[in-house]
Structure 1
Amino acid sequence: MLSQRLRTARKANGLTQEELAEHVCTTKGTISNYENNHSTPPNDMLRHLADILNVTTDWLLGRTDEAATPLTRRDDTRDNRSLDELLQEKIDDPDDYYFLDGYLDASEEEKKEIRRYWYDLKKQWRGRQVKESRPPSLFEITENLKKNNP
């Protein structure tokens, strides 16, 4: 129950595991262990998680179905940024810029083709069960594709 509700509350607040870990001064792995029911947070961590996620500890533990505080996205400055600011943030990252370059100007048919190719690529990666300590950058992926498809 705790693992499911923790994940639900985290997502409802628009947080990644890493972001939640930063808020409660722990690691992404610890949050992942809580969400996958591999470990249980100690009482003080449970209280801290409830405070950050705007829910009660009783709700997290499944003692009540009343979260007390509605599960809504946190009122972050991130949420108040305009679409242009969010897009600029993506463009400032070289990997994201390389990926997005030309996409916004593409026709609807071209965008559909790009998305189809992206889903196919993700399936191929899952099929190979590629496990890396860090996800490859978009640059590394495109360079590998160039090498494999001269």
Structure 2
Amino acid sequence: MLSQRLRTARRAKGLTQEELAEKVRTTKGTISNYENNHSSPPNEMLTQLADILHVSTDWLLGRVDDVSAASADAAVTGANRTLDDLLQEKIDDPDDYYFLDGYLEASEEEKKEIRRYWYDLKKQMKIQRVKESRPPSLYDITEKRKNE
């Protein structure tokens, strides 16, 4: 919950991970770890993030669903979200995140090239009758080990 809401609030403010990191005096990697649920911020950092993003710590933690009127941004409430924002919200799997890292910031020309390679690969798989399989993600493997 925290990871998704932190990303949503950061984007609503129009900040990159690097810009947010500068504001709270940390690294882009730390913010990325928070947004990808690899680590959780300590209480002091959580408070700083909430202050900078103009949301409550309760909202970031998922304890409440309402963003107060004082901190509600159109993008947080969903009014003006872009397709890129909606796509990013759907990326829960860290493997997918790392695969797509940088895609949303790529130029249109770079995105077209990536899509062209993807479609060519899919076409070749179909021609060669390669069956798609979905091995467990790194996230699934680590979660399984945690539960053992």
Q: TM-score range by the shorter chain?
A: 0.5 to 0.7
Aligned to 1:46: 46
Q: Kindly tell me: are residues 126 and 34 of structure 1, through their superposed partners in 2, closer, same or farther at Cα, counting changes over 3 Å? A: farther
TM-score by length of 1: 0.51
Where do residues 1-150 of structure 1 align in structure 2 (5 Å cutoff)? 1-68=1-68, 69-72=71-74, 118-123=110-115
Q: Which protein, 1 or 2, shows the higher relative CO under an 8 Å CA cutoff with sep ≥ 6?
A: 2
Identity of aligned residues (%): 64
Alpha-carbon distance in structure 2 between the residues aligned to 1:23 and 1:8: 17
Task: Identify unmatched segments of 5+ residues in structure 1.
Answer: 74-114, 128-150
- Structure 1 CA distance for aligned equivalents of residues 21 and 15 of structure 2: 10
Structure 2 gaps, min length 5: 76-107, 120-148
1:33-74 alpha-carbon deviations (Å, 9 max, x no partner): 00000000000000000000000000000000122211258x
TM-score by length of 2: 0.52
Over 3 Å counting, the alpha-carbon distance change for 1:28 and 1:66 in structure 2 is: same
User: How many Å apart are 1:122 and its aligned residue?
Assistant: 3.0
Instruction: Name the residue aligned to 2:80.
Output: none
Q: Is the 8 A contact 1:55 1:71 kept in 2?
A: no
Instruction: Give the secondary-structure state (helix, strand or coil) at the position aligned to 2:112.
Output: helix
